[in-house]
Amino acid sequence: MESFFFRFRNQLVLLAFLAAQIIGLATQVRRSDAGRGAVDTTDGSGVRLVRLWANAVVSPPERAIHYSLVGIQKMWTGYFDLRYVLQQNQNLTKTVDQLRLEQAALLEDARQGQRLQAMLGFQERYIYSTVAAQVYGTSGSDQSKVFYIDKGSNDGLKKDMAVISADGIVGKVRDVFQHSAQVLVVNDQTSGAGVILETTRIRGILKGDAAGNLEMVGLLADDRIKPGEKILTAGGDLIFPRGLPVGTVLKVVRDPDRDSFIDVIVSPAAHLEQLDEVLVITSTEPRFSADDQNNIAASETLKGPEVEAQQKEAQQNQLKESQIMAERLPGLTDAKAAPDTTGTGQSPAGASAVPPAPAPAPKLLPALHPDRFSPSVAKQSEAGQSGADTSQDATKQGQAPQAADEERKP
Amino acid sequence: MSLLGANFRRDLEIRRYPLIVYALVPLVSLALQAWLPKALGRISPWILFDLPLVVTIYFALGRRSPVQGTIMGAAMGLFEDALSHHAIGLNGLAKTVVGYLAASVGVRFDVDNFLIRAALNFSLSLLASGIYLFVYRFLLGMELDWRWLAELVKAVDNSVIAMVLFPLLNRLQIRD
């Protein structure tokens, strides 16, 4: 017996390891009710512990490599490579000024939208607070599109929080540790997000394929879907807030498994392979955050003479355009009205200089079989058919009911 | 089937390493495997590799002990699984078999030749991919899209990495 174990110890060790891992797999994978291939992906407490240990072992050297390179990079860009900083600063200042003007202009629309939503009882959720995090590593497997960020439960992160970048959505938090978190990227095969096409308003599910491409699946063939159309989050998955950019339609292909269905290949808005920093949406609220409100207040206070001058210029341009339009459309001007002597055409109130033209009277078509209830007949009877300018049509129409009355007489 | 005689097999060198090498090299390979795709992702999506697999094959070939190859493969695979979001044991099973086979081959063949090492890495990489797919699809019954072209590229990349890495790791062994 002893010789048997000694002789086949290699094979026995191999079998023991294989059996242990197969049993471990069997305990982890639980079938869900969603059909074949659908499994419950939530980790049990034991599995989560193993992941925690693995992360605790691999994360420190990984972070050391990452932060060393980031440090070198920062040292280079912060101290040595400062050649274009002044020019960049000027350009950025101009951009910020321009954005503040645009923000001020959009503010009123946003407030009006909020008021209308409040009236309709519709609760739009704004991104209220985010946590910025650095990406320091991946799973290392091309079958598992996940990455690790340097913020965890200590920073307020929780499972299933949305992760975005400045360009668009990135993924969702899958697992949270104390000082790090695992993020499942939207282009993973097991990922999913509710999305909507911007113009056609067609909804679908976004998922990844084996090559890491994004695709919108489960769509009926529709000619309106064209390459270049923008795709936004639909907000129905309770992870991503509504209206975040997802990407654009790259091409439309037939679903290989189902006739009359199509797959939309999507070019992602975020650079999913080049992520350095991401934002985790930690809470959403049906109002602007304090930071947003401060920004808006700053924009309003910064509305100085420059903005007023721009607004006046815009008003004047609008007036000129309306004048030109009025001249080109004679039907809208009263030929008998006195010519405008002010030159500018601007009324004291600043309203449009074009006097309101009298609305042209609608010309009614003659009824085929008029009777006394026909409007033209009623009008004519009121007028007593007097007046030299009565049209011939009206005369004919007036005669017709009389003939009809005569016919009805016994 | 054995190509080598019994006397030659006995004379095959069993490489030994300081304990710290056994601890650090696998750890660094796991850390680099997790970090490099992020750093290289912007260069090309076709740079695919599996450093823990290469390191497993190296130690299995060097130690020429199927038991140690099995343990090393299982440990590396389980660590990789734990860092991914898939079930723990998928890579573990694949690398356990690879570690065992590499050590078994190392006992029977002279694997110091560069070409043999490259061919061994290529074939064991493909085998690991095949086992992964088999377990995922057939053992667990889950759906998974698969690109064999990517796996071929990964196998080639692993062979190239092995040809560079093996001589470097040879320098770490204890010499009598």
Cβ of B88 within 8 Å of Cβ of A25? The answer is yes
Residue type, A255: D
Percent of chain A scoring above 70 in pLDDT: 67
| Across A147-160, average pLDDT | 92
- Which of the residue ranges A56-65, A109-118, A339-348, B115-124 would you say has the lowest mean pLDDT? A339-348
Let me know whether A14 and A139 are in one domain.
no
Cβ of B35 within 8 Å of Cβ of A65? The answer is yes
Q: Residue B102 — very low, low, confident or very high, per pLDDT cuts 50/70/90?
A: very high
* Residue A253 counted as domain residue: yes
Number of domains chain A contains: 2
Chain A partners of B28 at a C-beta cutoff of 8 Å? 61
Q: Between helices A392-408 and A375-383, what is the axis angle to 10°?
A: 100
Q: Residue A328 — very low, low, confident or very high, per pLDDT cuts 50/70/90?
A: low
Q: What are phi and psi of B5, to 5 degrees?
A: -75, 165
**Average per-residue pLDDT for chain A:** 76
Q: Which distant-in-sequence residues (6+ apart) come within 8 Å of A293 by Cβ?
A: none
What pLDDT was estimated at residue B124?
Answer: 95
Is pLDDT at A247 greater than 90 in this prediction? yes
Residues 57-76 on B with a CB inside 8 Å of A are 66-67, 70-71, 74
Is pLDDT at A404 greater than 60 in this prediction? no
| Across A56-61, average pLDDT | 90
* Residue range of the domain that includes A29: 2-40
A36 at the B interface (CB within 8 A)?
Answer: yes
| Highest mean pLDDT, choosing among A115-119, A158-162, B4-8 | A158-162
What pLDDT was estimated at residue B129?
Answer: 94
Is pLDDT at A158 greater than 60 in this prediction? yes
Q: Residue A283 — very low, low, confident or very high, per pLDDT cuts 50/70/90?
A: confident
The string over A58-97, giving b where at least 16 C-beta atoms fall within 10 Å of a residue's C-beta and e elsewhere, is bbebbbebbeeeeeeeeeeeeeeeeeeeeeeeeeeeeeee
Let me know whether A144 and A259 are in one domain.
yes
* Residue A152 counted as domain residue: yes
Is pLDDT at B172 greater than 80 in this prediction? yes
A398 at the B interface (CB within 8 A)?
Answer: no
* Residue A155 counted as domain residue: yes
Is pLDDT at A116 greater than 60 in this prediction? yes
What pLDDT was estimated at residue B11?
Answer: 53
Here the CATH number for the domain that contains residue A257 is 2.40.10.340
Among B29, B35, B142, which would you mutate to test the A interface (most chain A Cβ atoms within 10 Å of its Cβ)? Answer: B35
How many contacts (CB atoms, under 8 Å) link A and B?
A: 158
Cβ of A273 within 8 Å of Cβ of B82? The answer is no
- Which of the residue ranges A182-186, A383-387, B122-126 would you say has the lowest mean pLDDT? A383-387
- Judge contact between B116 and B82, C-beta under 8 A: no
Q: Residue A66 — very low, low, confident or very high, per pLDDT cuts 50/70/90?
A: confident
Q: Say if the ipTM goes beyond 0.90.
A: no
* Residue A257 counted as domain residue: yes
What pLDDT was estimated at residue A407?
Answer: 46
State the distance between the two ends of chain B, measured CA to CA, in whole angstroms. Answer: 32
User: What is d(CA A171, CA A149) in angstroms, rounded to the nearest whole number?
Assistant: 12
- Judge contact between A41 and A31, C-beta under 8 A: no
* Residue A15 counted as domain residue: yes
A189 at the B interface (CB within 8 A)?
Answer: yes
Q: Residue B92 — very low, low, confident or very high, per pLDDT cuts 50/70/90?
A: very high
* Residue A224 counted as domain residue: yes
* Residue A305 counted as domain residue: no
Domain ranges in chain B are 6-170
Residue type, A339: P
More confident residue, B51 or A315: B51
Could you give the 3-state DSSP secondary structure of residue A128? strand
A293 at the B interface (CB within 8 A)?
Answer: no
Chain B partners of A137 at a C-beta cutoff of 8 Å? 31, 34-35, 38
Is pLDDT at A53 greater than 60 in this prediction? yes
Instruction: Kindly identify which residue of chain B lies nearest to residue A137, measuring between CA atoms.
Output: B35
What pLDDT was estimated at residue B45?
Answer: 65
Among A5, A10, A70, A146, which would you mutate to test the B interface (most chain B Cβ atoms within 10 Å of its Cβ)? Answer: A10
- Judge contact between A273 and B45, C-beta under 8 A: yes
* Residue A217 counted as domain residue: yes
Of the three residues A259, A285, A311, the one that is the final residue of a domain is A285
B8 at the A interface (CB within 8 A)?
Answer: no
